[in-house]
Structure 1
Amino acid sequence: MSTLKTFLQNTTLLRKGRSYDLGKMNLTQLWAAYLTYPTILLYFALILLTAYLSLKDISNIWLSLIPIPVVVVIYPLAWYLIHKYLLHGRLFYRNPLTASLWKRVHFDHHQDPHLLEVLFGSPFNTVPTMAVITMPVGALIGGWSGAWSALSTALVMTCIYEFFHCIQHLAYKPRWNWVVYIKQLHVLHHFHDEDGNYGITNYLPDRLFKTFYREAKERPKSPYVFNLGYTIEEAKRYPWVMKKTGSPPRDKPDPARAPKKDELSKRA
């Protein structure tokens, strides 16, 4: 009862405009923010809708179910490739047509990794991407029912992915060793070398493509970990992201937000 009361109190505070700053939130506050956040609520609604559409068009139960494990396998690989080659690539900020998209989708998150508002991608970008990745595969297996089943699976995985992504930036020490482990790996990605540990909950693609590292001592610290290569010099040549931000790119975090050295080197 007291837990529910605390949850409702935190939800009220968040609705009144309290900052979604993961660096200042506890686990209960995260649940309150996560379960009432518009993007997540939209994903929940779309999960129900796509599951209904899959059942509505079903002709063969197995052809509708097979896309689920297939998506579970291919989805992390697809997001790895997107994360590494598009979100961490430099082509988008060098084009005035895509600079704002790159800023919103990933640059802002690396500039302030604890800000919940930019941790979640815009549904206008994420949902079409999920559909393009998964629905053709599902359709090949099970027609429209398989396509909707595949998209529904991607939406469920995204909700799980986003929750653990929040945990990785939360001022909270997880009790589950596996969560401690993935949190450490993600902290390394944000504060030591961004050219590695691209996964959030699944690091198999990192291992396959040799971008996985366990501790900071395994590689030198990257000068671009906080700005993704969008330096002051780059901003002068390609000013569109800087104009949108209203200030020059930062190359290091607020000292109060930076993890301690032992958080970058300890083992789970």
Structure 2
Amino acid sequence: MTLKELVVAYLQYPAILLYLGLAAVGVGVWVANPAPLVQTLASVAAAILLFPVVWYVLHRFVLHSQWMYKVSWLASTWKRIHYDHHQDPNHLEVLFGSPSNVVPTVAIATIPVGWLIGGIGGAAAAFATGLVTTCVNEFCHCIQHLSYKPKNKWLLAMKTRHMAHHFHDETGNFGITNFLWDRLFGTFYGKVSDRRKSPTVFNLGYTPEVAEVYPRVSELSGGVATGHPSTRIHS
């Protein structure tokens, strides 16, 4: 796959078009209710700075949680937003997050801060920035999972770290484009030789033993992933 082919495919994905459309709406709200330049820039900067820490917290403590599958009405959500992605990291249908989860999360993370900084205009600027940042993040996520080898050293290192998260040890390298918070909280590893291979890298700890107690995800998935994601134990 070439970079051009990747960009063309990416810009045809409905969720990305939705995020860009909502970002345009945010810009429109700002035009109708503009905040002063300083407050606008501060709102944009706040959204950009918040994104990696919010992603880190959600990725580590929610998406990799051991509690969502225990709640019956959350089990299907957890399966869709992350369990399926780890079971088969190259399955494109679950590569992108669900808009029904992404849009409210971006709104909650950006709008209140933008409002405090610059009122309606600040909130609109922060929300639009959060959505654009999400699109950038998802594009880098595509680079990491699709059959494209980046020529840029930074992108290649980013892809290597994320692939290690998916195929070696899922308890580290929670960032996508930014690994600062992994470094600060001790979850970063630069080489797979730095850690032992995790036995739960494909099932996130949802083992056959766990499925006996909390069977909902297993029922929805046609079994529990063991080893390679194509290998399942059917309950």
Same fold (TM > 0.5): yes
Answer yes or no: is the 8 Å Cα contact 1:231–1:251 preserved in 2.
no
Which position in structure 1 is the counterpart of 2:91? 115
2:211 matches 1:235? yes
Structure 1 counterpart of 2:17, from 41, 56, 71: 41
- TM, length-normalised to structure 2: 0.94
Task: Determine the C-alpha separation between the residues in 2 that align with 1:192 and 1:152.
Answer: 35
2:127 matches 1:131? no
Task: Determine the C-alpha separation between the residues in 2 that align with 1:176 and 1:26.
Answer: 14
Task: Determine the C-alpha separation between the residues in 2 that align with 1:254 and 1:175.
Answer: 31
2:173 matches 1:166? no
Q: Deviations over 1:123-155 (max 9, x none)?
A: 111000000011111110001111111111110
Which position in structure 2 is the counterpart of 1:57? 33
Answer yes or no: is the 8 Å Cα contact 1:26–1:170 preserved in 2.
no
Q: Which residue identity is paired with 1:230?
A: Y
Unpaired runs of at least 5, structure 1: 1-24, 256-268
Paired residue total: 231
Answer yes or no: is the 8 Å Cα contact 1:111–1:250 preserved in 2.
no
2:136 matches 1:183? no
Q: Which residue identity is paired with 2:87?
A: Q
CA deviation after TM superposition for structure 1 residue 161, in Å: 0.3
| Mapping 1:62-101, distance limit 5 Å | 62-101=38-77
What secondary structure does 1:62 align onto? helix
| Mapping 1:117-266, distance limit 5 Å | 117-253=93-229
CA deviation after TM superposition for structure 1 residue 237, in Å: 1.1
- Give RMSD over aligned pairs: 1.4
CA deviation after TM superposition for structure 1 residue 26, in Å: 5.0
Unpaired runs of at least 5, structure 2: none
Task: Determine the C-alpha separation between the residues in 2 that align with 1:234 and 1:26.
Answer: 42
CA deviation after TM superposition for structure 1 residue 247, in Å: 2.7
What secondary structure does 1:207 align onto? helix
What secondary structure does 2:166 align onto? helix
- TM, length-normalised to structure 1: 0.83
Answer yes or no: is the 8 Å Cα contact 2:10–2:139 preserved in 1.
yes
Q: Percent identity?
A: 49
CA deviation after TM superposition for structure 1 residue 28, in Å: 4.1
What secondary structure does 1:66 align onto? helix
Task: Determine the C-alpha separation between the residues in 2 that align with 1:246 and 1:148.
Answer: 43
Answer yes or no: is the 8 Å Cα contact 1:105–1:121 preserved in 2.
yes
